[in-house]
Amino acid sequence: MTEGPLSGVLVADFSRILAGPYATMLLADLGADVVKVEGPQGDDTRTWTPPARGEVSTYYLGVNRGKRSIALDLRDEGDARLARELARRADVLVENFRPGGLAKYGLDYAAVSSGNPGVVYASISGFGSGAGARVPGYDLMVQAMSGLMSLTGEPDGPPYRAGISVFDVMAGNHAVIGVLAALRHRDTTGQGQHVEVNLMSSALTGLVNQSSAYVAGDVVPFRMGNAHPSVFPYEPLPTADHDLIVAAANDGQFRKLCEVLGIPEVAADPRFARNADRTARREELRPILVERLVTRPADEWFALLVDAGVPSGPINTIDGGFAVAERFGLEPVVVVGEGERAVPTTRHPIRFSETPAGYRLPPPELDEHGAELRKWLEGGSHA
């Protein structure tokens, strides 16, 4: 197999739960050698069940492929010394302890960089290392405190969380971006640096148009169910059997939509000619579109609209999403490991023409590689 673009990069992974492990898994896919440092009880997500594959949480399996595990009790000076030695050798260190939490073990950025000035040290927190440092950082809290939940749900209903830990994943991606940029800087200057990511900042930038509505337009957005505040139609609409997502986001797409629906005159109507008009008069326009859509089932409309270049799609369950990806040739599932250790997992999202992602190791058992890593850190053979 072609070596990945990060081949030769050693990552000391002192993170747990989701944001950090997701980031280090992506780095492992790209060829980095990731050593996952766990406490004696292991990563919390090992026990987050159901669901499970055998006796192992599928949550843990989903974000920990490609890594080697060593269990170290940082309260034990011998283990803490090995952890410091790993940090000294690492190109990258990723941690998501509460800010300042690693200082007592000599594993904070100041201590690590003093012995390893080229290290890229990535810290992931909930609310940064300033006044918010004392607040625990869980995704659900950030969904609530950032304003996302105020945007999710029906207008007259309660706020809802997203169906995944969206800001953990976003912060993990931001951590990877920060690490790669810092490695590029180090390649040029030889100097490492401290990369800080927090879920709250990831949330506020990830709210994109809703954030901009507030900071640039002084507008506080509100819940609109599945509707879009600035575009119509851009939501589920009923058909003869199931709702169908229709996303005619510009005037040309709307004209094509009307042609497929057999109502070209609606696109020419001055009331609906421009997106701003359609958005302002959505309650007038929606029943006109629905009157046509309910004459055929969703699958038929989907085929017709896609052929005409109108964005649309069915509302699937997760199995349906994987089925669509398979049909489109995206090969969404790869198997990592062999025999009893073989685990189906979701393919890395980025494709490279020359240095493809690799899937070398299944998610490790707790301390699976502890003996070889201890020998290496204590000065023995290469690990």
C-alpha torsion 85→168→98→178, nearest 10: 50
Q: How many CB atoms sit inside 10 A of residue 106's CB?
A: 17
Side by side, which strands form the sheet with 234-238?
Answer: 234-238, 243-247, 312-314
Q: How far apart (Å, rounded) are the C-alpha atoms in residues 93 and 96?
A: 10
DSSP secondary structure of 80-146: HHHHHHHHHH-SEEEE-SSTTTTGGGT-SHHHHHHH-TT-EEEEEESS-SSTTTTS---HHHHHHHH
Q: How far apart (Å, rounded) are the C-alpha atoms in residues 194 and 196?
A: 6
Q: How far is CA 323 from the centre of its chain?
A: 21
Token pair belonging to 228 = 């879009």
In degrees and rounded to multiples of 5, residue 336 shows phi and psi of -115, 135
Q: Using an 8 Å Cβ cutoff, are 344 and 50 in contact? A: no
Which uninterrupted H or E stretch holds 206? helix 199-206
Q: How far apart (Å, rounded) are the C-alpha atoms in residues 378 and 360?
A: 25
One-letter amino acid at 123 equals: S
In degrees and rounded to multiples of 5, residue 22 shows phi and psi of -65, -45
Q: How far apart (Å, rounded) are the C-alpha atoms in residues 338 and 40?
A: 26
Q: Using an 8 Å Cβ cutoff, are 310 and 257 in contact? A: yes
Catalytic residues: 168
What's the Rg (C-alpha) of the chain?
25
